[in-house]
Structures are given as structure tokens and as C-alpha cells.
Structure 1
Amino acid sequence: MNYNNDLSGKTVLVTGGTKGAGKAIAKRLVQEGAKVIVTARHKPETEEQGTYFVPADLSTADGIQKVIDTITADFGGVDVLINNAGGSETPGGGYAALTDEHWETTLNTNLMAAVRLDRGLLPYMLAKASGVIIHIASIQRSLPLYESTLPYAAAKAALANYSKGVSNEVAPKGVRVLTVSPGWIRTEASVRMMERIADSSGISTEAAGKSVMDALGGIPMGRPAEPEEVAELIAFLVSPRVNYLTGTEYVIDGGTIPTV
């Protein structure tokens, strides 16, 4: 495959960049010529060539500040920020099974991590009058799965709303802000979620997967997305080929959302 080196000379941060879609995004952007920083709580067993790892817990303000300080000291700032870190570790059982701690942890991971990183890294982009921020939301922002991931769905809805507001503020200053909302992606985290649903419901993981597809109304493509498919969309959206795109949401869900 031929790549255009659209991001040659650019510095990129991909949060949650050591596994799943984040890992695929980081690898794809390296292929576009970018210098890619990845951050997560645990160092990957093998680091992708061309990436730089910063360990941090992005569910905490201190963890976020560590990333901002490291990037500022070592790189000056970033030209592209992919707010990909997120996920759900809440138990099944609906609203009554959820504690304040479940809600706070999920909101910190899926909403406040992006808010804090934007606040810390946007000044560099604004000073250069250029940059791109991608917020990875989810189709659960409009199709919440109340049985197992209600806090996650609420956090992603807030993230999409926040993303639109920030885009309106910084677009006149040269910075593009976009939202990407995937459906079900075949990742290690999604497998763990199926296992939790299976354990709480006393069913097999296969049945748990079918229950999720049924709750979503089915996936016309008949399968989850592969991480590389999401990465390909991200690579396009952050490239200079689409400099007029900002403030919009791009859904990649295999047709899951049943409305226009």
C-alpha cells in the first residue's frame, strides 16, 4: 500500500494507544510519517517502531498532567491529538448495580481525560494556528446499553456535545475538532465486556455477544469493526486533504444506527 506521508514532520498523541483501536491508529499514523506518542497505564509488551511511550493513568488529573508536562518538555506540544482512551469496567445489572465510584471513574476516563488534555495541549496548537483534535465517542451516545454500560454511554454523549462546542470555539483560530463514533469494535476490551455480561447473566460469551448485537438492533454488516478500519478513517480525517472538515461527527458502525 502506498502512503502519502500526509503527517510528515507532525507530532501526534494517541491516548489509549497500546491496545485495540488505539494501537491500530498509532501504527497507521506512523505510516503517514508522524512522530507518534502513545500513552496508557501499562507499557506494551512490544512497542511499535516510530512510537514513544508515556505511562500514565488518564482517569486521574495527576496522570493527565504528567502527560502534558512530558510532552511540553520533550516535544513542545502536539500537532494532532487523538483522544481515544476510554472504555467501561462497570458491572451488568442496570442502574441499581452502579455506585458513585463506577460513575466517577467512567466519567473521568471517558470525558474528563479528553477535557483535561485539550485544555493542556490546545494552547500549542492555537499559537501555531493549526492542529487537529479527534474525540473518539461511541454510537452508545445515542444507543445506550443500560444493562451493562450506562455510565459509558452517558460519558460519550457528553463528550460528543463537548467536542462540538470546542470546535465552534477554536475553528476560527485554525484548529479542527472532530468526533468519531464507532460501533462495536473487535478488541480485547470488548471481549472482556462480553465475559462480564456472561458472568453476571449466567450465559456463554457467544450468547452475551449476540445479546449486545440484539440490544443494538443488529449490525447489518454482520460483524464488529476491525481496529484497522477505524484507524483508516482517523488517518483520513487528520490529513491536510480534508482541511475544511470540523465540528462534525463520523459514525463507523457497519450500519448499526437504524436512522438517518
Structure 2
Amino acid sequence: MILDLQLSGLRAVVTGGTLGLGAAVVEALVEAGARVVTAARSKPVHPVEGVTYVSADLSTAEGAALLAEAALEALGGVDIVINALGGSNTPQGGFAAITDAHWFAELNLNLMPAVRLDRALLPAMLSQGSGVVIHVSSIQRVLPLTESTTAYAAAKGALTTYSKALAREVTPKGVRVLSVAPGWIETEASVAFAERMAAQAGTDYEGGKQMIMDWLGGIPVGRPAKPREVADLIVFLASPRSASIAGAEYRIDGGTVPTVV
């Protein structure tokens, strides 16, 4: 028996939907019957039939506005907003290597797209008295790697705090807000990173994966998550099956975080 997520015909907007986790979320939503608009700077290598793809740089205010306008035009309204966009380009070297430009770049990629898109789309959701907003944060907010992810972790920490504040404001008006905090996901970007680490250490990809897991203090399930595993959780939380869940953050990290948070 296949669980019906009751998403058929619902209108969804996904950020970063051409690669990695975002692409997996788009695929899962479409399989569940949702209508989807998504945006990213890159074109999809394997576009999903029926999905509206918008070319936009969501790290800018103009890009977020372009996606919001395209979504409202294509869908006539929005029921689900999933901010899956994120990443880090800050160099290694600890706090001293992080310039103002790096800080602003991390905030503009990992926090502001959600803030801007919510500001553009939430009014319509509040007018209809229903909707779901999900922000993808990260376990890095509680487990930062000081050598390389301080700014990224801080931006994701801000996203989680923003999500909680937004939930308290709009949940009583019919719009649920949640966040999901993945651990290491085996996306295209993380595979490339593991391969670079492996090359530098003179080992293979599996050796590179093990290096990253060691940096994280270990992953008890023994591997990074697959994008679709995280996407399935997100899509379930976005569905009417989760109608009583609001204001919470769900961690999916294979047991990486060793404490209760």
C-alpha cells in the first residue's frame, strides 16, 4: 500500500531545484501529484516533466522577486514553499580567513532567499488561510566545523531562529512553518568535495568520504544521507498528513549530532 500524501493538485515553490536536495524535493513533489515551480542559477540536467523552471540568482533580491512573480503567474497562488537552497564557498582557515564579503555571501545564500521569498509569497497564503513553509537548515548550526563552516553554520543558525519566529507569527493564521536540519547529504557538490579531499590525501572516493565523516565526529549509520531520503521527509512534512506539526525542526543526520538539542 502506498501512502497517499494528499498533495495532488497543490501548488509548490522550491528553491535550488535543479541539483542536489532541491532536485530530489522537486521530483518527490511531482510524484506525489503537486504542481511545482522552481528556480536556480543552473539549468536542470534532467528536467522533470511538468515542472516550471525559472532561471534566477536567488542570492539577490531581484532573483527572489523574479521567482515569486513567476510562481504566482504560473500557479495562480501557492500552497507550499520549500527553501532548499544552500551551500558554502568560504575558504578554509578558520575565523581569520572569513572576510566581510564571505560573511555577506553566506547570509545572502543561506538566509536571505528564504526571508525574501516568504515576504513575497506569505501574504497570499495568509489571505487563503492555509499553507506550509519549510526551510532547510543544517546540523552545522549546532556542530560547526571551525576550520571551514563558521559563516555557513551561523547563517543556518539564523535561518532556524527566523523559522521559529515566523512560525509563532503565522501558524495561528493557518500557515505552518517548519525547518529541517540535514547532516551530510551525498549531493553532487559533496561528492566533488570528497573527491578533492581524496585527491589531496592520495586516496580514493571512499577514503575521502571517510575523512569527512571523521571530521564530523562519525556518522553512526555509516554513510551520508541520499538526497531523496531527506526529500521524502520534507515532502511528508509539507503534506496534509502532517497537519498538526508546526514550529519544529526535524534533524536527519544519521545520528551525527551526539547530544540532545
Question: Is TM more than 0.5 here?
Answer: yes
Match of 1:2 in 2: 2
Amino acid at match of 1:29: L
Q: Is residue 163 of structure 1 aligned with residue 163 of structure 2?
A: yes
Match of 2:239 in 1: 239
Match of 1:141 in 2: 141
SS in 1 for 2:27: helix
Rounded to whole Å, the distance in 1 between the matches of 2:132 and 2:72 is 17
Give the C-alpha shift of residue 134 in structure 1: 0.4
Instruction: Count how many residue pairs are aligned between Structure 1 and Structure 2.
Output: 258
- From 201, 204, 216, the equivalent of 1:203 is 201
Give the C-alpha shift of residue 96 in structure 1: 1.7
Match of 1:78 in 2: 78
SS in 2 for 1:102: helix
Match of 1:19 in 2: 19
Rounded to whole Å, the distance in 2 between the matches of 1:57 and 1:196 is 26
5 Å-filtered alignment, 1:1-260, equals 2=2, 4=4, 6-194=6-194, 202-204=200-202, 208-260=208-260
Rounded to whole Å, the distance in 2 between the matches of 1:179 and 1:143 is 17
Rounded to whole Å, the distance in 2 between the matches of 1:224 and 1:161 is 25
CA deviations on 1:54-92 (whole Å, 9 max, x unpaired) are 110011111111111222233233110000011011211
For structure 1, the residue ranges without an aligned partner over 5 or more in a row are none
Question: Is the alpha carbon distance of 1:96 and 1:198 closer, same or farther for their aligned partners in structure 2, counting shifts above 3 Å?
Answer: farther
Question: Is the alpha carbon distance of 1:156 and 1:125 closer, same or farther for their aligned partners in structure 2, counting shifts above 3 Å?
Answer: same
Give the C-alpha shift of residue 5 in structure 1: 5.3
Give the C-alpha shift of residue 206 in structure 1: 5.2
- The runs of at least 4 consecutive aligned structure 1 residues that moved more than 6 Å come to none
Q: Is the 8 A contact 2:82 2:135 kept in 1?
A: yes
Point out the more displaced range, 14-23 or 187-196: 187-196
Amino acid at match of 1:244: S
Q: TM-score, structure 1 length as denominator? A: 0.94
Amino acid at match of 1:140: Q
Q: Is the 8 A contact 2:167 2:246 kept in 1?
A: yes
Question: Is the alpha carbon distance of 1:174 and 1:234 closer, same or farther for their aligned partners in structure 2, counting shifts above 3 Å?
Answer: same
